[in-house]
Amino acid sequence: MFKIIKEVRDINRLREILTVLFEEGFDFLIGKIRLKHKIPLTKRLRARIEKKKKISIEKRLRLTLERLGPTFIKFGQILSVRPDLIPKSYVKELEVLQDEVPAFPYSIVEEQIKKELGKDINEIFLNFEKKQIASASISQVHKATLKDGNIVAVKIQRPNAKEIMESDIEIMFYIAKLLEKHIPKIKKFNPIQIIEEFAKWTEKELDFKREALNAKRFAKNFSADKDVKIPKIYDELTTNKILVMEFIDGIELHNIKQIKKKGINLRPLIDKSFEVILTQVFVHGFFHADPHPGNIFITKDKKIAFVDFGIVGHFDENLKAKSIDLFYGVIENDAEKIVETLIELSDTEIENREELEYEIGDILEPLQTGDINKVKVSYILENILDIALNHGLKMPTAFVLFGKTIITLEGVAIEYDPKFNLVENSKPFIEKLIARRYNPVYVFNNFMKNMLRFKKFAEELPDQTSKALKKIEKGTIKVDIEDTDVKKLSMEIDKSGNRVAYSMLIAALLIVAALTINYGNPFILNMPLIPFLSFLVALVLLLILFFSILKEKIL
């Protein structure tokens, strides 16, 4: 008992969670983790007497999460966008989960605003609608009018939301540890890691100031795009628990009936939505990571508007390149390229690569034999992620969220227009991105970044080598390097060293040319001989270096 109290502060809540799990048919798990004694005897007897209908384990899990309340509903919703963590059958069932959380009273709204902003609600707002326009597990949203007449959406965090969620997550960690300890088969799904990720997401969502910063960054990124609308944030009225932003008057993207009723031609707007998502990911490297069509609106003036910036994804240059390769591999029906990219993304070596390639090829077969216009890329991406999970390949979270966003948008597009084809829609954009890789400016910038990384590596190498040698001398490190690995490393260092030498020589020649350009008689192009020769040699060396890098990229 002492051990449980040490790890879980709310024993009554733990007992409640275990009881719900038991009643919904997960008694075998509770028995395995040796906590059945925590369930009241009357509950155990009643569960045996009552006969449950035979329903799938996926549905039972969804019903269990709904009974356990807001924290667990939010947990299920996050799992539903993570096909890299749980099997596809569970993802499909958890997508049904809805945040049907009762709204908290208006009196509490007034208290929260007074506590956070230091003023009564009537001092800040000209009008404040008492009935909420949205209610979720973490917050609820009200429509209001500021004193200057601007209409805003006010997001108010639920009282004690942080404390309640922290307590539930604490219990989740405790149960996850017991599951990994007593059920070896469940380890491959990494329950502790899943809860850790959920805890991080929840912490971010509970900080409304972070969400405000995200929204402002999106607004800056799309400031030049007249077709995209990001709501304005009112900083002076925003705290960790209150967020005031411009009210978006529009129709949710997934509300197809309402869009058709208004006579709006959605097709160009869907095309624009895909372009905006791809731009966020592959150009900005910063994207909306809550792939729910209810977070995308069509405004009255037919703009694409985004709301709810609590969770965002980040793509660095490496992840951009790998994701483009995988996406293009799907478009071009290249199983070998997809497998190679999956392994690189997960940074994991696997023994059964041929089997993985065969399974991916099987998924891509409709692209070979069928009508490409009837192929759903969402189906292919979902299955690729499911296969990767089964082979133990852990995909970067940001990539999975991007994939889920594409899957969701394709679903909305096909519902509106059954002839919509994501392959045709995305191919020009992806090809443009691939062509950009070989743009001289892009290659040069990438080269300079690598040179800076190599400079840092060269500066740290003596200290790191000294530390490693001392460990080897003490016998505290095991060295097991194949001769081929040493040769490969040596070649890479030689190659990088040569490039650094070339760069330094080019820089020296350019400096000489600049310093001597005003000295001597004009020779060619109104330049003296020495600076002309310096510029010429520098250009030749630069071209050699450029084509060397380009050749390596292509190979």
Q: Virtual CA dihedral for 325, 329, 332, 335, nearest 10 degrees?
A: 150
Phi, psi of 143 (to 5 degrees): -90, 140
Residue from 84, 290, 334, 386 carrying the catalytic annotation: 290
How many Å apart are CA 29 and CA 183, to the nearest integer?
Answer: 9
Amino acid at position 78, single letter = I
How many Å apart are CA 31 and CA 50, to the nearest integer?
Answer: 19
Q: Which residues pair with 250 in a beta bridge?
A: 299
**Is the separation of the CB atoms in 329 and 338 below 8 Å?**
yes
**290 annotated active-site:** yes
Q: Which of 77, 74, 70, 71 is nearest to 93 (CA)?
A: 77
Q: Which of 208, 218, 211 is nearest to 242 (CA)?
A: 208
How many Å apart are CA 110 and CA 112, to the nearest integer?
Answer: 6
Q: Which of 302, 230, 310, 300 is nearest to 270 (CA)?
A: 302
* DSSP states along 405-468: HHHHHHHHHHHH-TT--HHHHHHHHHHHHHHHHT-HHHHHHHHHHHHHHHHHHHHHHHHHHHHH
CA dist list (Å): 313 to 218, 287, 310, 397, 402: 12, 5, 10, 8, 8
**Residue 151 per-residue DSSP state:** E
Q: Please list the active-site residues.
A: 290
